[in-house]
Amino acid sequence: MAAAVGIEPESDRAKRGQILEGARQCFLRLGFDGASMGEIARTAGVSKGTLYVYFPSKEALFEAIVAGQCGIQAEQVFALDDDDHDIAGVLTRLGTSLATKICDPGRIAALRTIIAIGERMPDAGQRFYESGPATGIARLATYLRAQVAAGVLAIDDPELAAAQFLDACLSTVLKPMLFAGAAAPAPERIAHVVATAVRAFLAAYRRS
C-alpha cells in the first residue's frame, strides 16, 4: 500500500537520519569545504546514488543539519510556561541550559562553519538565524509579555529585553571558545555568568 501523501515512511526517515548524522560528523571533522559528498556517503554508510536521492547537494545537507539542530534546541531550551511567574527560576534554568548547549565544542565547530560560509550561502545563514537565535528571542519575548500582563514585570520592549538577557548569559563564555579556541567553561563559571544576568534583568524590569 502506498504511503499517505505528506507522510514520510519510517524507512525513509531512518535513512535520512543516517545520512544527516554521517554528514554532521564529516562537517565537524573536515569543515564544509573539506567534506565531499563521496566522503559523506562513506561515513553515513550509503551509496553516493542513495545520498543524492535524499539530498541534491552538500549545501542542502548542511542546511538540513542546521535547521534540525536549531529546532531541537528551541524545543529543549525555550519550552517556557507563561503561567510560571517565578522569573528568577525560569531565567536561571533557561540561561544555564542555553549556555551549556551552545558552549558544547561540537556546536562551536558548527557555528564556525556557518560563519565561514555565510557570504557564499546567505540563505543558510538567514535560515540558521531565523530557526535559532530569532526563534529563541521570540519565545522568550512571548513569555516576558505574559509576565508583563500578569503585573510581574514592566518592560517596554520585550524583544530587546529578551535578546539582551540571552546575550548576557553568553557573555565571556561563548566568544573565547568561538574565536580563541578556549576550552568549554566550567559549570561553575556558567552558573556565575547566568546568575549575574538574572540579577541585572530583575533589577531593570521587575515591578517593585
- Residue 7: what pLDDT? 45
Q: In 10 A of CB 120, how many CB atoms?
A: 11
CA distance 193 to 103: 13
Q: Are residues 193 and 97 in the same domain?
A: yes
Q: Which long-range contacts (CB under 8 A, 24 or more apart) does 36-41 make?
A: none
- 39 within some domain: yes
DSSP state letter for 170: T
The SS3 call for residue 45 is coil
The SS3 call for residue 173 is coil
Q: Are residues 77 and 41 in the same domain?
A: no
Q: Are residues 69 and 161 in the same domain?
A: yes
- 190 within some domain: yes
* Whole-structure pTM value: 0.78
Q: Are residues 12 and 78 in the same domain?
A: no
Distances (CA, A) of 2 to 5, 140, 200: 9, 42, 57
CA distance 180 to 202: 32
| Residue 6 or 59, more confident | 59
pLDDT for residue 2 is more than 70? no
Instruction: Give the number of domains in the chain.
Output: 2
pLDDT for residue 110 is more than 90? no
pLDDT digits (tens, 9 = 90+) for 120-164: 888 878 888 888 899 999 999 999 999 999 999 999 999 999 999
- Residue 1: what pLDDT? 37
pLDDT digits (tens, 9 = 90+) for 115-128: 888 788 888 788 88
pLDDT digits (tens, 9 = 90+) for 40-66: 999 999 999 999 999 998 888 888 887
- CATH number for the domain spanning 43: value is 1.10.10.60
Q: Are residues 52 and 82 in the same domain?
A: no
Q: Are residues 22 and 85 in the same domain?
A: no
Give me the domain span that covers residue 91.
62-205
